[in-house]
Structure 1
Amino acid sequence: MPSHPRGTRLRRGLLTALVAASVAVPVSGAAVPSAVPAPAPAAHAPLHTADPGALAERYAATRADIDAAGRAAARHEDHGRAGALRAMAGPDRRFLSFDGRDGGRGVEVVGDLSRAERIAVLVPGAGVDLDHYWRLRKGALALREELGGRSAVIAWLGYRTPATVSTTSLTSGRAAEAAPGLRSFIGELRTLRPTARTTLLCHSYGSVVCARAAHGLRVADIVLYGSPGTGYGNAAALNTRATVWAGRGSGDWIADVPHVKLRLPFADIGFGTDPVSPGFGAEIFAAGSAGHSDYLRSGSESLRNMARIVTGRKPADGGVADAASAPAPGGRRA
């Protein structure tokens, strides 16, 4: 049934108001990356094997990059950043890559990558940088605990995420920048662990990143959760052989974001079709009462179901709050 004109006008009006509010945020505030200086990381040779010795060598080299960034933060008298980096450089942490500049990027392994038969790659959304990295790591730890042995979770902060309240979080520009790096990383991961079952778990704006990177990506599943949309009209448009899943908790405010895409002179605003709507065509999994930031909370229904997807088992169906978002067939494509 076509949308009622009044409803369409309301959605557009709400999105316009959100854009206006974002534009009003001062450029010196949340809309820009942290200005804490950091040195360029050392150049590292590509990894060609997941042998424990080779991984240990990479982890040690990256630990030195983090230490250098921590010293720079201390000289800058940003004691919060310096303390966070000291923790990240701990002997129990395993980073494949790190760059402390421009808000920060890092790729951390939770679990034993050398023996992993199942790998989950977490792609975060807006507002996750070095100063808020703990959020991503907390989710990675909870998912690894849920998955158990012979699994690894990779926290992929591999791009310059947009600020939560900013015009960049309403456009696909940062996702377009991030997608080549994500595709490259998944390719490297397949070289390291070619027989492992790999799943992309894409939160919020991260689902826009994953959608941009999806074409030809050799992963088993792409999971969109807490998604504002992907920028594509349906799952088939992602042009992937992976099964596309979508879930949204009943406590997630993202359900109130208008799922429209407006073409403006300077950019396209919004991300279009709601991934949990029947028209998108994803497989739907139950996300329980999850709020926007707690899909990976220990003991939650959303965490259990995403872990089931990672292991290749069927999750519980449905779980979105409104009838219009009921499951629809066709999420898997040949």
Structure 2
Amino acid sequence: MAVESVAYARAGLMGNPSDGYFGKTISIIIRDFSAKVSLYESPEVEIIPSFQDRSKYPGIRELVEDVKSNGYYGGIRLMKAAVKKFFDHCETQGIRLPDRNFSLRYRSTIPRRLGLAGSSALVTATIQCLTEFYEVEIPKPLLPNLILSVEMDELGITAGLQDRVIQVYEGVVYMDFDRDLMEGRGYGEYEELDPALLPPLFIAYRTDLGEGSETIHNNVRQRWLAGDPDVVQAMKDFAAYAEEARALLKAGKGLEIGPLMDKNFARRRSIFNLDPGTVEMVECARSLGAHAKYAGSGGAVVGMYYDEEMYGRLVHAMGEKGIAVMKPRVEAS
């Protein structure tokens, strides 16, 4: 038996990073980049390394360039953690897994270390392969929780549910992580929105990389846990931007969400120490009349433009700075 699963990159359209702080967000899937996991039955359990896991290089310069592009970790630790957490879940739920072994291999085209949720995409695809292979049913609203626990519990990476929710549901999703819901039933309210309601969007990302999310989020989380009033209020503000953007989208006023993107970025800037490279992308977009904000933890931005002439100017101006610009494919073809 062989199964295959694909999970896509994502961009936080509004409200991020409040998902880990009982906030509200809107997120979109980016079908242009994906993590694909293949699983097939085999005599032993094996996770097959991909190109990103290699440890042999023609020379020292190639090793250094690989570290710059991919960091010190490939996908093996994520897949190992996913398998362990899936097994733990089944044990806890009293699900007896059949005595069958498997091999896993993966391929990811999601740019690394740019806050486009490449790690969670790989975990999502791995968990989905395992549930299909072992015929284990996990309710859709609860599946993102299991996926998140892989990185948080097993690897100690600070993260929120947003990435996992959008990678499970796909398309465009408005998420309400209300504290009462999260502490009561364990998951939020997830509303799928019509991608046709979106304004013209672009994704821009640096080719010289950003900073991993486990580094970015730690300080703010500690401040939030300590009750820092500015951080607590900021998370409420992010949630309000998402709520207002949802109302505009549903009213057919998608072109009016741009100023909210600007507010989301400004509020983020007020509590985070932002990397200059990502700030430069936002400021470049705004100088041309577009709107932009962080797509995730850094290294990439999501923005909206008003016409093709503006998009062309964005591509030209950012291209001169070594920044790639693209129109995200949100809907399934």
> Which TM bucket (shorter chain)?
under 0.3
**Structure-2-length-normalised TM-score:** 0.27
- Indicate the structure with greater strand content: 2
**Structure-1-length-normalised TM-score:** 0.27
- Indicate the structure with greater helix content: 2
* Structure with greater contact order relative to length (CA < 8 Å, sep ≥ 6): 2
